[in-house]
Chain A
Amino acid sequence: MSGGWFTTKLNYVIGWGRKFSLFHYPFITACCGMEYMSTACAHWDFDRFGCGLTTFSPRQADLIMVVGTISQKEAPVLKTIYDQMCEPKWVLAIGACTLSGGIYDNYAVVQGIDNIIPVDVYVPGCPPRPETILDAIVKLQEKIQNQEQEFRWKRRK
């Protein structure tokens, strides 16, 4: 990251703010949703990491969690939802089926959602344990903290 003291500090502060206020949209289609639920509830509780507010409107979400098998018939829906989200936005792909199609190597299932939308963090497992999902959130926060932040009045190169 280049820039003067003020630019880098501003970048740091915006990243700090963004990583602890992830509003997420759960796009849950299959059994990994059970793991998502236990991660969201009191036992594991990802609200501790500032990721607790679930919005069911993609327009207010920063993070979309894609949890479960995405079929070919459902692919346009996922694409539309992703396009409806405002920048900046991040994608968490949870579970083997979401990452690669998993055991469903057939005519009906998308072989990995990175065929449709870009993915920031991949969470493997069938299903992944809640600790894995928490680890993914921490890794996503690291990524958000260290990436170059985009904002509206930023001067473009």
Chain B
Amino acid sequence: MEKKKITEILKEKFPEKIKQTSAQFGDETIVIERDFLRDLCTFMMKEPYAYTMLLDLTCVDYMGEDLRFEMVYHLFSMANNERLRIKVRLSEKDLKIDSLTPLWKNANWLEREVYDMFGVHFEGHPYLVRLFMYDSFEGYPLRKDYPLRKRQPLIPMRRKV
């Protein structure tokens, strides 16, 4: 008998929480609401699914859409050798989401990176400051509306940039 896919299991278990699922060539993806993220991840970490590893955490900017930003979480289950992708859409006006640092330690720097590049606020993060850019840097460089040629040098340049 073929094993049941994780997306179907989750759809049966939380029918009203999961907005959308898709699976193609082994990329099981679910789209959920923002408030459900921490609970879902806590649930996924436990047996029998045991998604104990957070592979990556990143953000996508869909400028012009209603819910502009999309957080993407890649989970991996070492016990079952399965992957799962969780997506959460966020609006620009209310750009915050629960931090996953209490669950996975590596989420700390990944969330700082997303905060640095996109300006998403992670609630419950222990130390949410910029990771790559310097503190005096203004704006969020990976947003689509950051000017392409805008430069913010730390020291005065010898000629005009």
Residues of A participating in the B interface, judged by any CB pair closer than 8 Å: 72-73, 75-76, 79, 106-108, 110-111, 114-118
Contact B141 A115 (CB under 8 A): no
User: Complex: how many Å from CA A128 to CA B153?
Assistant: 27
Contact B153 A107 (CB under 8 A): no
Contact A73 B151 (CB under 8 A): no
User: Complex: how many Å from CA A106 to CA B151?
Assistant: 8
Name A79's contact: one of B146, B148, B155 (CB within 8 Å).
B155
Contact A76 B146 (CB under 8 A): no
Contact A75 B154 (CB under 8 A): yes
Q: What is the count of residue pairs linking A and B with beta-carbon distances less than 8 angstroms?
A: 40
Given A107-B141, A107-B146, A108-B133, decide whether A73 and B154 contact each other with a Cβ distance below 8 A: yes
Contact B153 A110 (CB under 8 A): yes
For B155, list chain A residues within 8 Å (CB).
75-76, 79, 116
Contact B141 A108 (CB under 8 A): yes
Contact B153 A75 (CB under 8 A): yes
Contact B152 A111 (CB under 8 A): no
For A111, list chain B residues within 8 Å (CB).
151, 161
Contact A72 B153 (CB under 8 A): yes
Given A72-B134, A73-B133, decide whether A115 and B152 contact each other with a Cβ distance below 8 A: no
The closest CB in chain A to the CB of B149 belongs to: A105
Question: Most chain-B CB neighbours within 10 Å: which of A75, A107, A108, A115?
Answer: A107
Contact A107 B151 (CB under 8 A): yes
Contact A115 B150 (CB under 8 A): no
Q: What are the interface flags for B114-154 relative to A under an 8 Å C-beta threshold, 1 for contact and 0 otherwise?
A: 00000000000000000011100000010000101011111
User: Complex: how many Å from CA A73 to CA B130?
Assistant: 12
User: Complex: how many Å from CA A116 to CA B134?
Assistant: 18
Mostly, the A contact residues are loop
In this assembly, does B1 line the interface, its C-beta being within 8 Å of a C-beta of chain A?
Answer: no
> What are 20 residue pairs bridging A and B, where the CB atoms are less than 8 Å apart in the complex?
A72-B153, A73-B132, A73-B134, A73-B154, A75-B154, A106-B141, A106-B148, A107-B146, A107-B150, A107-B151, A107-B152, A108-B132, A108-B133, A110-B153, A111-B151, A111-B161, A115-B153, A115-B157, A115-B159, A118-B158
User: Complex: how many Å from CA A79 to CA B153?
Assistant: 13
Given A107-B141, A107-B146, A108-B133, decide whether A72 and B158 contact each other with a Cβ distance below 8 A: no
- B139 CB to nearest A CB, Å: 9
Contact B154 A72 (CB under 8 A): yes
User: Complex: how many Å from CA A110 to CA B156?
Assistant: 11
User: Complex: how many Å from CA A117 to CA B151?
Assistant: 18
Contact B158 A115 (CB under 8 A): yes
Contact A114 B158 (CB under 8 A): yes
